Amino acid sequence: MQKLAANLITPLEKSSGNDKPLTANKKNKWGQSYMPLKLKNVLADNGLRQSDWQDAIIQEGGRGAGRSLSSSAGTQILNWNQWPKLTDKKIIVEQTENFLRKKKITEGLIATIWNIDNQDTGRNKIPTGVKRGPQKNTHKRTIFDLNLPENEMLSATAKSHFNIFINPFIDDVQSADDIYLSDDQMHVRAAMYQTAKHGGFVAIIGESGSGKTTLRRDLIDRVNREELPISIIQPRIIDKAKLTAGAICEAIIRDVSSERPKQSLEAKASQIERILTSRARGGSKHVLIIEEAHDITIKTLKYLKRFWELEDGFTKLLAIILIGQTELKGMLDVRQNYDAREVINRCETVELHPLNGNLEQYLALKFKRADKRLDHIFEPDAFDAIRERCTIRQRGVSASQSMLYPLIVNITVTKAMNLTADMGEQKVTAEIIRGL
């Protein structure tokens, strides 16, 4: 299989005398040569967006014929000097130069755009078309390199290239069988189920895209599927920072009864205790689920202890499940919020961890619904490259943090499949992953 490195552009023959040999040999964190073209900075210096240039390049070969150059393919050309196989390089060159002429770029400057920019380190440049905003003082904060792939849809070109008819990452959970459950996720799933069924107070903590919402949906589906006498209570306030004790009271009353909430907080509390006690004696259980719980106030967090303490003899009337991002872990740290220790000490915390060693199994399940095996899509070296690509590193030190969560994996693989099709490669390789 031909390597992308074989597609590196050679210097165009020009008579201007401005051409320089392609000697740039900077490396990115994977050891890949960084060879930015001067075109990148010509666009930026003249207020031209990369997307405008890409839209002006109409491909004439392969499955992408008639379509504009994709963002992934454009970035490969600008940053890594790597060119699509299915569209003749001369076509892209000609269309690019015509685009710049229409934008009143001088011929002298156009003559330099295909040279390697030895002055571009790739670290301090602002992305093309993005204006510099006010600079903040961040020297006191832990700074990580968050250069993770941006979201994009699986292109029609990629679907055709891989002979795939559905996006394996869109509407991918139609039933419990579609949920990938590692040992870690099974533990979290069991914690949520046991809390709902037997009572308790638990916080589910995970990064954005780690699968928290999917597990919440799975819990609700399981309760309904098994016809369990459990009422799910979910406050319908989008901004959880505005969630108050009174709003939680109203959510409980409306979700488990036909009564109208009383006016005062004290009256609502008595109303809740009466309703829940009556239902519990009839065999019903109740669980309060609060998503985006990292946004609730400390005052509301303290009130949750009062709700959890509602009981009828030895029977707890209300279980509580908090679901939030990693900020929730800090909120539930008694060293940070000592005045909330009464509720913090009663709340169990369970964390969702990255996929890491379970990456291949996760992807196998996703592609199964598209009737594809992993070896139809990936070369064997791609998986470790995905792990590396989804790792963020603290600047200046050796610390790193895996971000190998389902959503980020989905975005990374989608972008890699699009780029593979655009570059005319057969399968997703480690080299393609590193070039994202």
pLDDT digits (tens, 9 = 90+) for 45-55: 888 888 889 88
The per-residue pLDDT for 178 is 85
The per-residue pLDDT for 200 is 92
Burial class (CB in 10 A: 0-12, 13-18, 19+), 291: middle
Q: Token pair 């930015």 is at which residue?
A: 36
Q: Cα separation of 72 and 87, whole Å?
A: 15
* CATH fold for the domain made of 183-347: Rossmann fold (3.40.50)
Q: Residue 374 has which token pair?
A: 């992993």
Q: What is the mean pLDDT of the chain?
A: 82
Residue 133 has pLDDT above 50, yes or no: no
Q: Residue 145 has which token pair?
A: 């390199």
Q: Cα separation of 367 and 376, whole Å?
A: 10
The per-residue pLDDT for 345 is 92
Residue 146 has pLDDT above 60, yes or no: no
Q: How large a percentage of the chain has pLDDT more than 90?
A: 44
The per-residue pLDDT for 241 is 81
Segments making up each domain of the chain, as ranges: 1-135, 136-179+355-436, 183-347
pLDDT category at 63 given cuts 50, 70, 90 is low
pLDDT in tens, 12-42: 333 333 333 333 444 444 344 557 888 988 8
Buried b vs exposed e over 224-252: b needs ≥16 C-beta within 10 Å? eeeeeebbbbebebeebeebbbebbbbbb
What 85-89 contacts at long range (C-beta under 8 Å, 24+ apart), as own/partner pairs, is 85/2, 85/7, 85/423, 85/424, 85/425, 86/59, 86/61, 86/62, 86/422, 86/424, 87/59, 87/60, 87/61, 87/62, 88/60, 88/61, 89/9
pLDDT category at 124 given cuts 50, 70, 90 is very low
What is the residue type of 191?
A
pLDDT in tens, 202-221: 999 999 899 999 999 999 99
Buried b vs exposed e over 1-23: b needs ≥16 C-beta within 10 Å? eeebeebebeeeeeeeeeeeebe
Structural contact between residues 379 and 428, judged by C-beta atoms closer than 8 angstroms: yes
Determine the average pLDDT of the residues in 110-124: 69
pLDDT in tens, 306-331: 999 999 998 999 999 999 999 999 99
Q: Token pair 């891989």 is at which residue?
A: 162
pLDDT in tens, 356-404: 889 999 999 999 988 999 999 999 999 999 999 888 876 655 677 889 9
Structural contact between residues 433 and 382, judged by C-beta atoms closer than 8 angstroms: yes
Determine the average pLDDT of the residues in 261-281: 92
